[in-house]
Chains A and B, each alone.
Chain A
């Protein structure tokens, strides 16, 4: 669905990643943004490939997968409206960190990262605010990854019956 700049700006106001930015910031982002629609099962990003957009999910859901030899692409995270996809491009990392596949029809507001980087370089204030939001999003994922690594549901963390626990948890 084609959207004009004003409609994109309105969408940015409603999305968690960009909500709370000033009207001027949102307008400047809307000017370099586009709407992209993806069918269910579409590959937004392939692990290791170069990609040029930072996506903010507007509708739908996507799955982040990592390729494991002989096991395929294993899903590690589901992202929903307001979440960002493609952060590695804005950080100038060589190639994407994961494969991202849509789980249903998905619409994103995409920001072409070369233009976004130029905007951030030209105006460090908006650059700071954008990078702060990216850092917040990545910190949430870092914490989530740590919790997944702990396997918190698989452990007896407390000795609720007054008995010895296996291993070194006690």
Chain B
């Protein structure tokens, strides 16, 4: 398997965080904000690059570290975007920070989406809920070189219309050639889109070539499993499907073992895996 497992560390020591300053905070939906971070050392900033799908470890002194996916444009990375849901001790502390405050940042870590597999193919991106941020850098990248790909779809599911992320960008993405289909689990007043879970959008998708398409999924694991199942019923193979997994990542370099999933460490072998590589372990209780 041709996997890019390159680990780009912008410091000599992957354990040492750099200082990052919060330059902008954008509230997205309830409990979720996007933080634009600037690395304090300009030399480090110039050397920093990331692949769509990679993540950083964000460090708050006294609280600890949390793995947060990059959610900004990989081709414009002076300010590093991280869309964060405030769910645990670290992320809640980040949520209390203000513009001008600083935190620690290590990264980028992990594998990215399989860009080298995408050229000339139909691409289907499936996001559920807070699964859209790790796909947004990929969307920016694909749309920046739109002519290199076939049809590109974003199938996006959320709990309710008000829980959808980045909706202000949807029109611009559509104009650049991204076909967006949305669904919500529960309709609220004024919603004109679909109701139902996101795998149904894949069942309903007509215009794509299952033999030549690449499917990239990020969201709740149960949603990813059933979306992959739908894709395989449509004729895709598990070698054409990529998922971004989530586990308790502590060290980010495959040392501590907290994120081990079967023989893989999600932090360094993932978080993006080809489905045939990871699917046997997704149904193992306790992993």
Contacts and interface: CB of A to CB of B under 8 A. Distances in A.
Contacts of B183: 78
A39 B192 CA distance: 16
A77 interface: yes
Nearest to B90: A161
B199 A153 contact: no
Contacts of A80: 194, 204
B87 A148 contact: no
A99 to B, nearest CB: 13
A143 B66 contact: no
A153 B162 CA distance: 13
Interface string A64-83: 00000000001111101111
Contacts, number: 97
Interface of B: 64, 66-67, 87-91, 128-130, 157-159, 163, 183, 185, 187, 192-197, 199-200, 203-204, 206, 219-223, 226, 230, 246-250, 258
A63 B88 CA distance: 38
A22 to B, nearest CB: 19
Contact of B248 (A75, A82, A103, A161): A161
Contacts of B223: 147, 152
**Interface size band for A:** 20 to 34
A151 interface: yes
Contacts of A152: 128-129, 197, 219-220, 222-223
B261 to A, nearest CB: 11
A122 interface: no
Nearest to A103: B192
Given A75-B187, A147-B226, A153-B185, A158 B199 contact: no
A144 interface: yes
A158 B247 contact: yes
The 10 A-B residue pairs whose C-beta atoms are closest, nearest first, are A161-B88, A78-B194, A153-B129, A153-B159, A152-B220, A147-B197, A80-B204, A75-B195, A77-B196, A144-B197
Interface in A31-77: 61, 63, 74-77
Contact of B220 (A83, A148, A157): A157
A118 interface: no
Contact of B67 (A76, A140, A160): A160
Contacts of B64: 161-162
